[in-house]
Amino acid sequence: MIRSATPLLAMAALAIAAPAHASEGAAATPAWVMLAYLVSGILFILALRGLSSPASSRQGNMYGMVGMAIAVVTTLVSHPPSFERLVDDGAGDVAFAAAIDWTQMGFVLAAIGLGAVIGIVTARRIAMTSMPQLVAAFHSLVGLAAVLVAAAAFLNPGAFGILGADGLISPVSRVEMGLGSAIGAITFSGSVIAFLKLNGNMSGTPILLPARHVINLGTLLAIIALTGYFTIDQSPWIFWTITILAFVIGFLLIIPIGGADMPVVVSMLNSYSGWAAAAMGFTLQNSAMIITGALVGSSGAILSYIMCKAMNRSFISVIAGGFGAEASAGGDAAKVDRPWKRGSAEDAAYMMKQAESVIIIPGYGMAVAQAQHALREMADLLKKEGVSVKYAIHPVAGRMPGHMNVLLAEANVPYDEVFELEDINSEFAQADVAFIIGANDVVNPAAKTDKSSPIYGMPVFDVDKAKTVFFIKRSMGGVGYAGVDNDVFYMDQTMMLLADAKKMCEDIVKALAH
């Protein structure tokens, strides 16, 4: 969360103070200001480090909040909204002197207060299952803020101190301005589509436009070419064309991406928002924004790489086509009638109570059903019976990186019971029960055996090696986001628990209690 909010807060606060650069310039920045920004940067690094683990996430958030508070206060104190007025020194000489514009300062403080209220209310009311949508919304605001800052700098370059001796915007500033606006616009429109898909307002199925690769490549090349031309001609039509094309390409890049790729999309947009903030930091000549944007951009890029590696996908292939786009057309057609066994809550309760070890694999279906609390209650009852219970989290489970970790943390699942794929996959061969709740593609053995499958090569959990498998899903009619049938459904040791995930867990809890 702090990685998404940091560039937005920095951009909003620092953009307001930008007019001070015209009179002071970057070289005149006081040493204490640079030191304060350095401290903020260090705190942001500590925040990212803390957020890498659920156990230290609270401390990481605190570091981030303190760092942002220092950056905002430093900016307001060192570059308050001001205006120039004539001052008589008493000796008959009149000169211009800067004075704080308290009216504008009031607007700034009011905006900060309004944003704080909105943030507090949103944080208290938002459901943990809706966290991916909230993150996508944050990214869209960061992108929009970058576009607005770039537009303000283009329309009033004198206030930003980016005019050259010839009265034109310096070529370097034009590149920064064009890139910042383009990346921000892509982030905004792409995040809007991601939000709509995650929130259910738009189908998660890939929307494939004719000749989409040609259109996307042509639009991106046009943006690059216009940005280059912008350095020799600062005509308004060039800047606004870059911005409009970037808005368009943001939509075009995300609509062909299906639901299974949403974790990568969220982390990718997170990276984009950071680079947009860094580009605007150069335009504003503000080191805090450059540091913050670079941290967010690089961490988001690394996370995107990790997610793509977890899916055995290249970043380019995700952006170009969308995971499962081709499979969605034929995935259901490949599904055939095969025998399967149906189980009940009583069956699951009895067999898990007799087991020595149970490994739980949660997925997006658990999030949709909001079953995490009932699941934790079920696990607690099993542990009272002496059963070893562990949770296995796939890197791409859910709709954003860490989605399952957040939901389990909300249900007070102990951190030491939650394991990543590479840490627990070898234990399925010794597990008595693999309990799958709302996951599909991440347990599909086709990823290991079927070279024609769209998920081939993606690391998956070896649930097929467990002695018994319980698989909760609503019905046998649906398949995962990749559109691929799952052989686990039909294994001899598998019992399908067809019901809403929350209700099934609650029924198992009742059966365990008796």
pLDDT band, very low/low/confident/very high, at 259 (cuts 50, 70, 90): low
pLDDT band, very low/low/confident/very high, at 88 (cuts 50, 70, 90): low
Residue 70 has a pLDDT of 93
What six digits make up the tokens of 41? Answer: 């940067």
Residue 63 has a pLDDT of 93
DSSP alpha helix (H) spans, 231-363: 236-254, 262-284, 287-310, 315-320, 327-330, 345-354
How much of the chain exceeds pLDDT 90, in percent? Answer: 33
Catalytic residues: 441
Residue 361 pairs with which residues in a beta bridge?
Answer: 436
Given a cut of 80, is residue 369 above it in pLDDT?
yes
Number of neighbouring beta carbons within 10 Å of residue 77: 12
Residue 304 has a pLDDT of 83
Residue 139 has a pLDDT of 85
pLDDT tens digits, one per residue of 448-482? 887 777 677 788 899 999 999 999 988 876 555 55
Mean pLDDT of 65-83: 85
Longest dimension (CA), the chain: 101
Given a cut of 90, is residue 361 above it in pLDDT?
yes
Number of neighbouring beta carbons within 10 Å of residue 483: 27
| 8 A C-beta contact, residue 296 and residue 277 | yes
Mean pLDDT of 301-309: 81
Given a cut of 90, is residue 496 above it in pLDDT?
yes
DSSP, res 333: G
pLDDT band, very low/low/confident/very high, at 27 (cuts 50, 70, 90): very low
User: From CA 202, how far away is CA 198, in angstroms rounded?
Assistant: 8
Q: What is the mean pLDDT of the chain?
A: 82
DSSP, res 82: E
First CA to last CA distance, the chain: 41
- CA-closest candidate to residue 510, choices 388, 411, 381, 391: 381
pLDDT tens digits, one per residue of 122-175? 888 887 777 788 888 888 888 898 899 899 889 988 777 777 777 888 888 899
Tokens 């498998």 correspond to what residue?
469
pLDDT band, very low/low/confident/very high, at 242 (cuts 50, 70, 90): very high
Mean pLDDT of 233-261: 88
Which range is least confidently modeled, 115-119, 332-336, 364-368?
Answer: 332-336
| 8 A C-beta contact, residue 360 and residue 433 | no
Residue 432 has a pLDDT of 95
Which range is least confidently modeled, 234-243, 294-303, 319-328?
Answer: 319-328
Residue 356 has a pLDDT of 94
| φ/ψ (deg, to 5) at 424 | -125, -10
Residue 163 has a pLDDT of 77
Which range is least confidently modeled, 66-70, 273-277, 330-334?
Answer: 330-334
What six digits make up the tokens of 335? Answer: 């599904």
Residue 58 has a pLDDT of 85
Residue 435 has a pLDDT of 96
Residue 2 has a pLDDT of 38
pTM (two decimals)? 0.77
DSSP alpha helix (H) spans, 126-199: 131-155, 157-160, 171-199
Given a cut of 60, is residue 490 above it in pLDDT?
yes
Given a cut of 90, is residue 336 above it in pLDDT?
no
Distances, alpha carbon 416 to alpha carbons 54, 106, 395, 484, in Å: 10, 48, 17, 33
User: From CA 32, how far away is CA 40, in angstroms rounded?
Assistant: 12
How much of the chain exceeds pLDDT 70, in percent? Answer: 84
Residue 5 has a pLDDT of 42
- CA-closest candidate to residue 228, choices 276, 171, 280: 171
Residues 6+ apart with CB under 8 A from 103: none
* Greater model confidence, 485 or 269: 269
Calculate helix-pair angle for 171-199, 236-254, nearest 10 degrees: 30
User: From CA 113, how far away is CA 117, in angstroms rounded?
Assistant: 6
- Single-letter amino acid, residue 4: S
Tokens 């909040």 correspond to what residue?
65
Given a cut of 60, is residue 97 above it in pLDDT?
no
Given a cut of 90, is residue 23 above it in pLDDT?
no
Which range is least confidently modeled, 14-23, 48-57, 346-355, 374-383?
Answer: 14-23
